Every structure is written in structure tokens, then in C-alpha cells.
Structure 1
Amino acid sequence: MRSAARSLLPVVLAAISLLTPVAATNYDLVKEYAGSTFFDGWTFYDHFDNLTNGDAVFVSASVAKSAKLAFVDPATNHAIIKVDNTSTVPFNEKRNTVRITTNDRYGLGSVWVADMLHIPYGCSVWPAWWSQSPDWPVGGEIDTLEGVNLVTHNQMGLHTESGCQVVNPVQLASSIQTSTDCSNLTNHNQGCLVTDGNTASYGQGFAAAGGGVWVTELASSGISIWFFPRANIPSALTSNTKAIDTSTLGTPTGNWPSTGCSMDKFFSPHNLIFDITLCGDFAGNPAIFNQTCTGVCYNDYVLGNGSNYATAYFEVASVRVYSSNGTNNIIKGGSSSGSGSPGAANSNGTQTGGNGAVAMQRSMMAMLLALALGAIARLFA
């Protein structure tokens, strides 16, 4: 009878392994934004900044093209996303800039890699490279790159519903854990933040280093962000752009493990976003503005001839998105109806997975495990 019980052991172990989420490290390329078609597949916000109270107007695709605020530089084949630095803005008006959002959304089991040569900086400037669920705060937010004014270090973070905490992160010793509660209701939506200790991660230091690469991983084991200055980009990111193995990238710059924040509960498929606003709730807050700049944010910088914004632009070589295990985690267009684990999408964008599929698989495995354990119990009775 013991030999019969031993024969059931592989079944039990198999069931247990399927019930336990395993973090994916191997990902295959599913989407690339680069070169002359970089701006294909993005939506321009086309509205004044009613999101963060910035002194900016996010222009339409046609205005961005005609005013050369969003274009592909023919000399480098890199995408340029910038603040208007040629128009004169009178009092009580706002300055034109750009906010673009991917039409597609990318779910759990995704990695996005952004290669940039320049990021916006300067007094009053507030840029971000980030991702968000359409139903925010349901579905969460990941800030890969964010800074204001003349700060010298990038700030990363998450913003979620209540209940997501940072517990035992594994990240670089030089990274500074600023806060650990990710809830949008805590401390005026501060989020759970990590400051990169590397001065090449933002502003003039980033530009002087020739830019660099950010890798953002949204996995069942948690969220990780890596930053590599140009001189330190690992071969895993340059030798094979068709696939990526995050286990070869070393210790992340920032890490938000699932131990304190269930990924499939707090994160649903995300749109990727580039934006540059001016002043607003963050950059224009006098207590923050005066840390690195003098004067009054709107009066002394937004107004006038725009010469303050010569450095307020993104130069992006590429954005590549990868999905785990050869699956397709893209949700084509549309908007999310709620939070939860994302499903895969087939070639026409129809969602084929999600919480229901995951729950069914786990239910079946739980039933198999219960049957196996019951059989073992009967054999030993």
C-alpha cells in the first residue's frame, strides 16, 4: 500500500506546483514602438491638463505633428516628444505639450523596455514614463520614470487601492525606499516610492551619460524596475531584442514583491504613457519647486517665449513589450471593466483568459489534489 501511495506522489506534487504561482523570467517580444512607425498605436490626449492641474495643454496628434511636438527625427530615427519652446504664452493661458497613451494594454506576465537618449527636465517641467489601468485606482499604476524641476534622481513607485504594501523588497542597496504604503488614500496619494541613487537616472546627468534603458516587469511574483545607464546596459538587452530573460538582469533598482501586494488583485492590464506637464500639483507645489528652482513656477517659466524649455523633451529610441512563455498578454484597445488578473488576447484582440480562466484552472488542480490526498488517506487507513 505504501508503494501505491508513493506512486501518487508525482500527481500530488504536480497539483501543488500548479496551485503555486511561479514567476516568469523568460519573455518574448510581442510589440515594438520604434522608428518611422513609433507613434502608430498611441492616442494623443487632446485636452488641457485636467488630471494634475498642470499649466499645460496636451495637444492632438495633428497639432503635435504640425508644431513638431511629436515626430520622428529623420537623422536618428528616434521619437521626439516635447514641450513647445517657441511660442510666447500670455498670462492666463497654458503652454502646449504632449501626453500619449498606447491603444493596447499589457497585463500580468509582461515586460516593457524603454531605451531613451534624453528625458525632459528644467524648472516647472514634470515628465513621466508610466502605466495605468483605465479604471484607476482599480487596476493600479506603475511609475517607471518621474521627476520634477531640477532634481537629479529618478523616482519610481506604485499607486493602488488600499491594501497594497511593500514587504521585504529585493533591490539595490543604493535605492532609497521613501514610502511603503501604495494606497492612493494614504498621504495624499503619495504611493510606495523608491528613489534611484544613481544621478545618471534623471535630468542633466541622464543626458550626459548618453541616456539609458528602463525595464519594467509586471509578474505574479511582483513588480520590478531596472535602470541601466548607456555604458552599463547588459548584453541581455542588446544581443537579442526578440526575447528577454529578467533573471539575467541582476538586482532590480526598485522592487515591489507580491508578499505584501497581490498582483492579480491590485493590477489589471495597463496602457503605457508618456507625458510632460508643467507646474501642477507636483512640480508647481511651492515647497517642492523651491527645493531646486527660484521664482514662481507659472509666472517665471510657463509664460513668455518658451526658451526655458530647450531641455524639456523625450528622445526615445524604442519601446519594446514582451510577454511571458510565448503567450500574448495584449488587450487590444478598449477599456478595462475592473481589476483582476489579465487574460491573454488572440490575434483580433478578444480577451480569452482572465480571472475566470485562472480560477477554473486552480479549481481543477485543487480538486485533483483533494482526490489524490483522499486516495492516499484511504490507502493508509
Structure 2
Amino acid sequence: MRSTNIFAFTLVVPFVAATSYDIVKAYAGTTFFDDWTFYNHYDNLTNGDTIFVSAADAAADQLAYVDSTTNHAIIKVDNTSTVPYNQKRNTVRIFSNDRYGVGSVWVADMYHLPYGCSVWPACEIDTLEGVNLQTINQMGLHTLPGCTIVGANDLSTSTQTSTDCSYLANDNQGCLVMDNNPASYGAGFAAAGGGVWVTEFASTGISIWFFPRANVPSSISSNSSSIDTSTLGTPSGNWPSTNCSMSQYFDAQNLILDITLCGGKSPSPSYFAGNAAIFNETCTGVCYTDYVMGNGSNYATAYFEIASIRVYSSDGTNNIIPGSSSNGTATSSGGGAASTGKSAAETINGSIAALVASVVVGGVALLLA
């Protein structure tokens, strides 16, 4: 977990709810992986000790597949191969072919998140992020300089720990909110039967709601054709557009799911999961040599189990920017960065030709980019 100073807000403004959103896309069941691109490159985005494999290799090695019993999508780290010293372990990073603009909502229904020592999953805008054996989820934004958060309206159980979203501030920590619900990440999330995240990308700002399985509203659990965020209550995390214009700092978003190991966010390569001080908060030993290397038995819990990801829009399909319809692969000139700031990916990592905005989940990432 990142060490941060808690910021006490004195300005509070009412949360502005959007209108109803109608479904425009569903990633679910046997066709879950049909409209995604596999990164197919070593991790040059967060400097992890991983290789993000192609669609063909992910299918052949059962690193990305739909379970025939549950009909749930599984995305995992290779936990059967023996990795020698100075080699990387195979895993998966995918991003949606289509991008979704302001006026969109993503509903991610998951039963398991990747966790374990050295594991760093994410679901970008940082809807979900954590590392190692961290027990609570952290949510946040990473942008170009100038985006700051004032007047946030979060649950009383959430903690706003930083308000400057710039990737240049605080080692690219971003503007973070910690969800102190122990069912929001890791082993606690799995024990509770998982849960659902709702991420709203609106002109008034970005909001994220988390519901453990036992508390998922019927309007979401029924996979209805529309969703009204005004019925969801106070969000777990809220980033108003007051000092962070959505049109200025955010492009249309790809959805991104990834799992990396060790690593750290550029431009501070040693900052996050692999940083010794952070790693030793919940784990012992050395991130790479004691976990990534070897027979892979450490990664039995390093997987996503996803029932569905559904995308809703307040403007029909007009805010969808279509991508390739084929399930291809990308090289280092494509794909996305673990960042939601407009063009921040290009600034942070020169090898990324185009920004892909993201929503990130934990040490494993679910990125909406």
C-alpha cells in the first residue's frame, strides 16, 4: 500500500447524478474475449517482470479463457511454468477494441481478483488497484499536470489520501481514494463472493461505486438494459470536474484488464509492487527472486474471474469510438498505459503512440483507458 498523507476536505458540494444510461455493449459468456486486443509484449508500461502474451498463446496456455462450467471469463498469471533467473513470467493484458466517451458507465461483475505476493492487478480509470497481500482497494486518477480534486463526495468509509492527479506529483501516485471495506480487495473480496463495481464517466466528474456480492442492488444484479446512477447512493470514490475538466484531461476510454508482477509505475520504476518498502509491508523476501522465479506455485490466487463487464451510455452509440473488430495483438506502439490522463501515456512512456485511458484495479489491473 502506498504511504500517503490524509487530506482533510473543508469544501463539500452535492453529488450531481447523471441521467439514466442504456446498455450499448456486454462482454460476457462464451464471446467475452471477442472484442479485445492482447498486448503481446513484455511489460514496458509498468516495468513488471512479466510478458503479456498474444491471444493465441493465452488460449493455448489457458491464461485467458471462458470456464465451461460457470461461463465466467478467467484471466490469470502462468502458475505452472518454471521461470529461470533473469527471465519473465507470462501473464495477460487486454484492452477493448472500442473506446467509450464522456456519458458512459461501466459495470464490472467479478468473483475473484488477482492477489498474492508480487501480484499487481488493475482495472483502469483506477477502478480497482492493489498489490501483494493488500486488503483494501485503492481507486485513483493519473493525469497531466493541472487536475486537482476539490469537493469530493465519498462514503464515510472511504479515505481521500491525495488530491493532485498529476503523474509528476508524488511519484505518480495520482489522486487516490482508499476503500476501507475489507471485502473490496484480495482474499476478503474472494471470501465475500466477489462483487460489482460501477464506474461513471460523466461531464460532472468520475464516480466509482463498489458493492460486495451480498449488497449488489437488484437493478445491477439483474443485468438490466438500463442503469440510473442516482439510485446507487453515495459513491465509494468521487472525482468532481470542478478543477479537472473531463474534456481537457480525459479522452474516450478503452477498457483494460491486466496483471503484472513486481514493477512500478513510470516514471518511478521502483515505486509500487516491487518497491522493497511497499513489498515488505505484507510480504517477506525479495519480489522477483522469491516469487517470480521458480515453479509458479505462488500464483494460485493470481487470477480474475469475471461474470461480465457491461457498458452503458447516456447518448446511445454516439459516444462509442469503434476499433478493430478482430481479436488481434498489439506491439509497444499500441495498447494502453496505466493512466487516465489525456495524452499522459505519451508523456510518461515515449513508446506509446496513442493514449489509452484506463481504469485500474489493484495489483491486478482492470483498466478503462
TM-score relative to the length of structure 1: 0.78
Q: Aligned-pair distance for 1:326?
A: 3.6
- Point out where structure 1 has 5 or more consecutive residues left out of the alignment: 1-21, 131-141, 341-381
Match of residue 239 from structure 2:
256
Q: Following the alignment from structure 1 to structure 2, what is the Cα–Cα distance between the partners of residues 116 and 209?
A: 11
Higher alpha-carbon Rg: 1
Aligned length in residues = 307
Structure-1 residue corresponding to 2:275: 285
Equivalent residue for 2:150, pick from 137, 153, 167:
167
Which residue does the alignment assign to 1:4?
none
Distance 2:312 2:190 in 1: 26
CA shift for structure 1 position 25: 2.6
Structure 2 counterpart of 1:153, one-letter code: I
2 CA distance for matches of 1:119 and 1:153? 12
Q: How far apart in 2 are the matches of 1:239 and 1:292? A: 37
Q: Which amino acid aligns with 1:63?
A: D
How many angstroms apart in 2 are the aligned matches of 1:332 and 1:174? 38
- Contact 1:236–1:248, Cα closer than 8 Å, also in 2: no
Instruction: Please say if residues 83 and 309 of structure 1, whose CA atoms lie closer than 8 Å, have aligned partners that are also in contact.
Output: yes
Instruction: Map residues 205-354 of structure 1 onto 2, 5 A cutoff.
Output: 205-239=188-222, 241-281=224-264, 282-333=272-323
Alignment partner, residue 19 of structure 2: 25
The answer to whether residue 62 in structure 2 is matched with residue 68 in structure 1 is yes
| Aligned counterparts of 2:234 and 2:17: Cα–Cα separation in 1 | 15
How far apart, in 1, do the equivalents of 2:297 and 2:223 lie? 41
> Does 1:47 find its partner at 2:41?
yes
Rounded Cα–Cα distance in structure 1 between residues aligned with 2:262 and 2:131: 9
Cross-structure match for 1:17 = none
The whole-number CA distance in structure 1 between the counterparts of 2:318 and 2:190 is: 34
Q: Which amino acid aligns with 1:269?
A: A
The CA distance in 2 between the partners of 1:241 and 1:172, in whole Å, is 25
1:153 corresponds in structure 2 to: 136
> 2:143–2:342: 8 Å Cα contact kept in structure 1?
no
Cα displacement string for residues 68-104 of structure 1 (whole angstroms, at most 9, x for unaligned residues):
0000000000000000000000101010000000010
Whichever residue aligns with residue 306 of structure 2, its letter is V
Identity of aligned residues (%): 74
Distance 1:185 1:240 in 2: 39
The letter of the residue matching 2:94 is I
Hey, what's the Cα distance between the residues in 2 that align with 1:220 and 1:52?
29
Paired residue type of 1:291: E
In 2, are the aligned partners of 1:35 and 1:317 still within 8 Å (CA)?
A: yes
199-208 or 234-243, which deviates more: 234-243
User: 1:360 maps to what in 2?
Assistant: none
Alignment-derived partner of residue 82 in structure 1: 76
Query: In 2, are the aligned partners of 1:127 and 1:276 still within 8 Å (CA)?
Result: yes
SS of residue matched to 1:39: helix
Distance 1:222 1:128, change over 3 A: same
Counterpart-to-counterpart distance in 1, 2:342 and 2:43: 26
Question: CA offset at residue 23 of structure 1?
Answer: 5.6
- CA change 1:72–1:239 in 2 (3 A) is closer
The answer to whether structure 1 residue 98 and structure 2 residue 92 are counterparts is: yes
Contact 1:26/1:325, CA 8 A, preserved across alignment? no
SS of the residue 2:110 aligns to: strand
Higher relative contact order (CA 8 A, sep 6+): 2
Deviation at 1:339, TM superposition (A): 5.1
> Which stretches of structure 1, 4 residues or more, deviate above 4 A after TM superposition?
none
Task: Confirm or deny: 8 A CA contact 1:24 1:325 kept in the other structure.
Answer: no
2:116 to 109, 116, 122: 122
Write 1 or 2 for the structure with the bigger share of helix.
Answer: 1
* Letter aligned with residue 81 of structure 2: S
How far off its partner does 1:24 sit?
A: 2.5
Query: What SS class does the counterpart of residue 62 from structure 2 fall into?
Result: coil
| Partner secondary structure for residue 37 of structure 1 | helix
User: In structure 1, what is the Cα distance between the partners aligned to 2:223 and 2:193?
Assistant: 21
Give distance in 1, aligned partners of 2:50 and 2:81: 13
Name structure 2 gaps, 5 residues minimum.
Answer: 1-15, 265-271, 325-333, 336-340, 344-369
Indicate if the aligned counterparts of 1:44 and 1:60 stay in contact, CA closer than 8 A. yes
